[in-house]
């Protein structure tokens, strides 16, 4: 599995997608909204509960796996063209 990690970690879109792939299963499973996380205690409690729940961890793992995949290729690797990038490709390139 060849992935151009150097380019991905410099792409803000990658971090947004990765963050959402972790946060969304938590919010969906526990039925919470952002308004429910108004104290550090509630955030800590959510993290502890999630870390001790194998089902939630599996949901986060699957979601993260899906966010890392490149859907434009037939395999798990980036395309040969994407592996040559030195920085994220812009639309005008």
CB 25 within 8 A of CB 71: no
Within a domain: residue 92?
no
pLDDT above 90 covers a percentage of the chain that reads: 59
CB 5 within 8 A of CB 77: no
List C-alpha distances in Å: 91 to 20, 48, 50, 79.
23, 41, 38, 17
Model pTM score = 0.79
Tokens of 13: 């879109």
Within a domain: residue 68?
yes
For residue 78, pLDDT over 60 is answered with yes
For residue 64, pLDDT over 80 is answered with yes
Within a domain: residue 89?
no
Task: Tell me what pLDDT residue 85 has.
Answer: 87
Domain that holds residue 10: 5-82
The domain total for the chain is 1
Q: What 8-state DSSP symbol labels residue 42? A: H
| Average pLDDT rounded to a whole number, residues 41-52 | 94
């Amino acid at each position: 599995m060849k992935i151009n990690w150097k380019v991905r970690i410099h792409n803000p879109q990658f971090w947004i997608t990765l963050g959402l792939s972790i946060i969304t299963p938590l919010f969906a499973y526990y039925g919470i909204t952002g308004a429910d996380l108004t104290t550090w205690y509630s955030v800590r409690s959510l993290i502890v509960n999630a870390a001790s729940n194998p089902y939630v961890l599996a949901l986060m793992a699957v979601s993260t796996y899906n966010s890392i995949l490149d859907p434009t290729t037939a395999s798990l690797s980036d395309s040969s063209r994407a592996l040559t990038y030195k920085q994220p490709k812009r639309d005008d390139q």
